């Protein structure tokens, strides 16, 4: 399994990038969000990868952010959702936006992605929400800077962010230590983004 590629961008086109590592060019299917985040051809870049092995083909998918890879894996675990649909969703939305849509039950929002109809959007929301419906704890979250283990309560945007982060595969115990310096009055998507950035710097 190839976990990541760290090399030179030598070619891009919509939903595809080629990263050269050690003289070998690796073709990766990818999202438009990753394409926009990558540097110009000839410059160094790192992508996190997921390999898809089928009877008739082996494909590599690459993503600029770990959170995007995690979201891709969750989406493709939903029955009927393949790489093409997951890439379409992650081209239209950030992982944070998908997490918020799923945690709030907003399947209609997901149909904005190319090729995603009502049935598949509803299935995504149903299957992913079922995985996390009981994960958000109750109580208050102590946002004091430097707190090692914040105390959580189901309240406001922090609670919504915890539920959405659970959709992305993070438990409250994993993320709450990184929320101490985040303003709880920020929009939910911003809280998710700031938390993921903090986790990435660990």
Which tokens hold the place of 55?
């009877």
Query: Which pLDDT tens digit goes with each residue over 13-72?
Result: 999 999 999 999 999 999 999 999 999 999 999 999 999 998 888 899 999 998 899 899
Which 3 state secondary structure label does DSSP give 185? coil
Could you read off the pLDDT of 87-137 as tens digits, one per residue? 999 999 998 899 889 888 899 999 999 999 999 999 999 998 876 554 443
Domains of the chain as residue ranges with CATH: 4-63 (2.40.50.140), 68-132 (1.10.150.20)
Inter-helix orientation angle 118-132/156-167, to 10° = 110
Q: pTM score, two decimals? A: 0.77
> How far is it, in rounded angstroms, from Cα 94 to Cα 68?
7
């Amino acid at each position: 399994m190839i976990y990541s590629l760290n090399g030179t961008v030598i070619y891009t086109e919509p939903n595809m990038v080629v990263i050269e590592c050690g003289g070998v060019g690796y073709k990766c299917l990818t999202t438009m969000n990753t394409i926009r985040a990558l540097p110009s051809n000839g410059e160094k870049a790192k992508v996190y990868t997921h390999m898809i092995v089928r009877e008739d083909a082996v494909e590599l998918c690459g993503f600029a952010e770990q959170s995007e890879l995690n979201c891709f894996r969750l989406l493709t675990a939903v029955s009927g959702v393949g790489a093409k649909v997951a890439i379409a969703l992650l081209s239209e939305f950030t992982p944070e936006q998908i997490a918020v849509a799923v945690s709030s039950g907003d399947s209609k929002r997901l149909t904005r992605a190319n090729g995603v109809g009502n049935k598949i959007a509803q299935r995504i929301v149903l299957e992913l929400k079922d995985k996390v419906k009981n994960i958000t704890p109750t109580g208050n979250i102590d946002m004091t800077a430097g707190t090692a283990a914040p105390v959580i309560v189901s309240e406001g945007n922090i609670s919504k962010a915890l539920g959405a982060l659970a959709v992305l595969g993070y438990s409250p115990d994993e993320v709450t230590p990184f929320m101490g310096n985040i303003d709880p009055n920020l929009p939910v998507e911003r809280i998710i983004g700031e938390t993921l950035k903090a986790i990435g710097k660990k």
